[in-house]
Amino acid sequence: MKRLLFAAVITFAYVPAPAAESLGDASELARVFVPRDSWEQVVASLAQNVQARLQSHPGSNLHYPPDFSAKVRAEIESALPYDTVVAMNAKEISATYSEAEVKELLAFYRSPVGQKFLRVSPKVTGKVAMEAEQRVNQKMPDIMKRLGKLAQPAGGPATKDSAK
């Protein structure tokens, strides 16, 4: 879920976003799609990743201050604050759906089945993604063999594909 949420958020990271409040129901729907607690999990995961990358760097024998984790997290949060993420999503929602459609979506996500969808869909998506990855990984040795036969040594005869 974190990967999907982060991908959805980052897709629009370089688009200036209007204030979420000015987008009304679209802003509310954006908060449904990106709840603060989910965003905080994404930020925590990113912060751990950044800290691990810094500490595994060749100069990893450096000493970091005791509050280093908090500083890393603060840097991530300041780079893309939650309200900015909501505003970016609200902007795209309002550009994609009419006001009436946004109201219908809000009604759906407030309903019991909508709440269930929000609760279980990340698990469903995650399971499907893992199964798909496993299936591809099982076939990868054969795929690599077939593709490896197509490779030519450097300076070898040019093929139609390599000449493009």
CA separation for the pair 91, 89 (Å, rounded):
5
**Tens-place pLDDT, residues 53-110:** 887 877 667 777 889 889 988 998 999 899 999 999 999 999 999 999 999 999 999 9
CA separation for the pair 23, 43 (Å, rounded):
24
**Tens-place pLDDT, residues 112-163:** 999 999 999 999 999 999 999 999 999 999 999 998 888 877 776 655 555 5
Predicted confidence band at 51 (pLDDT cuts at 50, 70, 90)? confident
Give pLDDT, residue 14. 40
Q: Is 37's pLDDT higher than 60?
A: yes
Angle CA(82)–CA(91)–CA(21) in degrees, nearest 5?
A: 65
Show the tokens assigned to 137.
Answer: 């990984």
Domain boundaries, the chain: 1-110, 112-149
Q: In whole numbers, what is the pLDDT of the chain averaged over residues?
A: 83
pTM here? 0.62
